[in-house]
A and B are shown apart, each in its own frame.
Chain A
């Protein structure tokens, strides 16, 4: 899974030009220390710390072991002294001994594991440290009387592994809890299944000679004893789910399964106690065991992914007040003044008091170009400051801020209903009717002949018709499909998503970050009369005044042209049209075609007019993802498609061939959500492709929310599926594959039905012996499992999604 080379045998002597700590190519500024060279003071410092503590083995394991500290500032963790915060972060505390789990994004190699597990050498208060490499987590046990969480966090930070603690860590609901119950159930049922099978052998083989000593009765009693945990521990969830479903007046797949389990159990007990036979407890144990394996196989977790994140996972825990104190951000009050440093997130809406703000709202809107703000302007929570420190006066609390309010929407409190297995439950309904009808018909027929046979045949039908194979088909086929798709960098939250994919009728796209890439800058070109130097200067000054994304981009284009002295007069910004001003006696006007009295042209978005004469126009091309047109055409052929963009309509001409009239620009996060709601009220099943937090509401509301991620380790809002940007062009293949897998399940159902009808033919005649049941049930289950796994793997190869294309992450 992870490309990782363990300890290297031959040490390559460190190149004199590379940093001894992080392996980075040094430029002229190498820092020398003890005949070793370092790229920066930070790396040298880490080396000194390690050297002092006799931990230089670190460098012998992996080339480039160290984490470069260049340009990183020591993070402050003063807020970790706050008792409330501490109590929320700790996993476990008994008197002074504390256990805590921290996320260290910098963990990347064997040396990291070695160093971090030797952490106790730095600080005697640390009792134990354990790394989970895939999750990049460290589990620390320490003695609070000797050290503090703050000291540990600062220690980690000083050697390059700054822990990332976000607001989400404080929310117990967001901490993933490993559900071990299923594993316990699986273990117990496996144990019972094996033992009952063994104990049933005398019955299968008909060893009558030892019957004299009461062997049969004794074995029967033992079997009943063994089967108790099967019904009341391992099968408990099926019975519960069936009860719930009946209470709601629905029939899901667990109803016929529960009927099967209970009939098997009760009839077996009756047979054994009355001495009429050996019962079907072996079949019962096998049934539950296979069902649980299916459930387990279906549960797939991708270590590095989370489908449930909200803004809290990205917000800091504490804010720095102007007076130098830090407070947890939930305690921020309106009127507090906070300091936001370079690359820090603004935790709550506020007014800019001091500093030059250049806010990157990519986190909220997907738009990556920073927006400049002046003193007195409103700043929204979720923006990241790029540049100098700011002072901000809080105008809304964290929970009331513009961005966070979106999460207060009813949508986010409701649990996602997407976990329902549509197919299985639909089948479950028919199955239940079918079984009950057959059973009662059998009963009615035999009642006229013989009551004993009637009851016998009636229960036999209920047993044999138990849809074990049906219940196994989806977990194994879809579970395998999710694994295959995961290897192709398309990650589904659960197997239900596969079924929902097939039902999609409408697809909504976000533009920025979804159809276009966030990486790399947009290409700007100017067409028209070449500009004189003073004209360039005037233009640069003019666009600098505006925070509009287009102005910002043009400003970047002319950044070098900023004059030292300038006079700007009569500046006006017309919302949605353009800018104008008099700069150095030049009347400069820049904006839309209408604003500058020009005819609209295909690829011209911004026209420039100086002293009333049109000089030319700027073309700003978005960088679309590779083969985005193929994807759009694919969806266009099969569904209706919509574009929901927060940006202005500069791309209308480029995108209208695909979307026609379904282009929706200037959509706020709430607009997007409502748009999806509206589509759904018209009976559409909506697939939403988005990326940023601005899509979070729409992603949650839609039937399938799919997130395009440049880096799956990074941020993604809560969703049902995560698509790595690398695999974007394969999306149609993935959907074809998902549809193919659904067809496979139908075929499996056919097979299951075949087995069931064979069994039923015995059952209705009242001739179902325990041996036949014990053979038929596992045989059908195993066939279905093998069919599901093999066929879905084969299908993946045929669609070119086999392992050979595996790109490791």
Chain B
């Protein structure tokens, strides 16, 4: 039964990973504009756009 300690620790670590991912997403401003990306994704990517960021 001792394996349960390991499992719990792992599950919390994974959950912390998701929490950090969420905090990062908020911080990077992904939730500030939830409309324009829906337009942007319809554009055809021109080849030289990829080179720049």
Contacts and interface: CB of A to CB of B under 8 A. Distances in A.
B50 interface: no
B5 A218 contact: yes
A183 B26 contact: yes
A215 B5 CA distance: 8
Given A110-B42, A117-B40, 13 more contacts: A110-B39, A114-B43, A117-B43, A120-B52, A128-B53, A133-B33, A135-B33, A180-B27, A187-B23, A191-B19, A195-B12, A210-B1, A210-B4
7 contacts: A113-B40, A132-B32, A134-B35, A187-B19, A194-B15, A195-B15, A213-B2
Contacts of B47: none
A6 B42 contact: yes
A423 interface: no
Interface in B20-44: 22-23, 26-27, 31-33, 35-36, 39-40, 42-44
Given A6-B42, A195-B12, A199-B8, A187 B22 contact: yes
A210 B2 CA distance: 9
Contacts of A213: 1-2
A213 B1 CA distance: 9
A184 B20 CA distance: 10
A529 interface: no
A7 interface: yes
A329 interface: no
Interface in A110-129: 110, 113-114, 117-118, 120, 127-128
Contacts of A194: 15
Contacts of B19: 187-188, 191
A57 B22 CA distance: 37
A199 B9 CA distance: 11
A113 B8 contact: no
A537 to B, nearest CB: 58
B43 to A, nearest CB: 5
A543 B27 CA distance: 63
Given A113-B40, A210-B4, A183 B31 contact: yes
A7 B49 contact: no
Q: Determine the main DSSP class of A at the interface with B.
A: helix
A208 interface: no
A429 to B, nearest CB: 35
Contact of A127 (B1, B11, B46, B52): B52
A194 to B, nearest CB: 7
A515 interface: no
A178 interface: yes
Instruction: List the 8 shortest-distance A-B pairs measured between CB atoms, nearest first.
Output: A133-B36, A191-B19, A132-B33, A187-B22, A110-B39, A6-B42, A183-B26, A113-B39
Given A118-B49, A218-B5, A180 B39 contact: no
A393 to B, nearest CB: 45
Nearest to A134: B35
A131 interface: yes
Nearest to A132: B33
Contacts of B27: 180
Nearest to A114: B43
Contacts of A110: 39, 42
A131 B5 CA distance: 49
Main secondary structure of the interface of B (DSSP, over half): helix
Range of interface residues on A (Cβ < 8 Å): 35 or more
A213 B3 CA distance: 12
B52 A6 contact: no
A114 B44 CA distance: 10
A1 interface: yes
Contacts of B5: 218
A222 interface: yes
A49 B46 CA distance: 19
A2 interface: yes
A486 to B, nearest CB: 16
B35 to A, nearest CB: 5
Given A128-B53, A213-B2, A187 B36 contact: no
Contacts of A128: 52-53
B13 to A, nearest CB: 11
B8 A6 contact: no
A694 to B, nearest CB: 35
Interface in A179-231: 180, 183-184, 187-188, 191, 194-195, 198-199, 210, 213, 215, 218-219, 222
A293 to B, nearest CB: 15
B15 A191 contact: yes
Given A6-B39, A117-B40, A184 B49 contact: no
Interface in A126-154: 127-128, 130-135
Interface string A287-320: 0000000000000000000000000000000000
Contacts of A6: 39, 42
Contacts of A120: 52
Nearest to B16: A191
B38 to A, nearest CB: 8
A2 B36 contact: no
Contacts of A132: 32-33, 36
Nearest to B37: A133
Contacts of B32: 132, 178
Contacts of B53: 128
A128 B49 CA distance: 11
A215 B18 CA distance: 26
Interface in A94-120: 110, 113-114, 117-118, 120
A329 to B, nearest CB: 31
A133 B39 contact: yes
A219 B44 CA distance: 53
A218 B5 CA distance: 9
Contacts of A127: 52
Contacts of B35: 1-2, 133-134
Given A6-B42, A222-B8, A113 B26 contact: no
Given A120-B52, A213-B1, A134 B33 contact: yes
Contacts of A4: 39
A195 B17 CA distance: 13
A710 B26 CA distance: 35
Nearest to B2: A213
Given A127-B52, A134-B33, A180 B26 contact: yes
A113 B49 contact: no
Nearest to A6: B42
Contacts of A180: 26-27
A219 B12 CA distance: 12
A218 B12 CA distance: 14
A127 to B, nearest CB: 7
Interface centre among B18, B26, B36, B40 (most CB of A within 10 A): B36
Nearest to B44: A57
A132 B5 CA distance: 47
B6 to A, nearest CB: 12
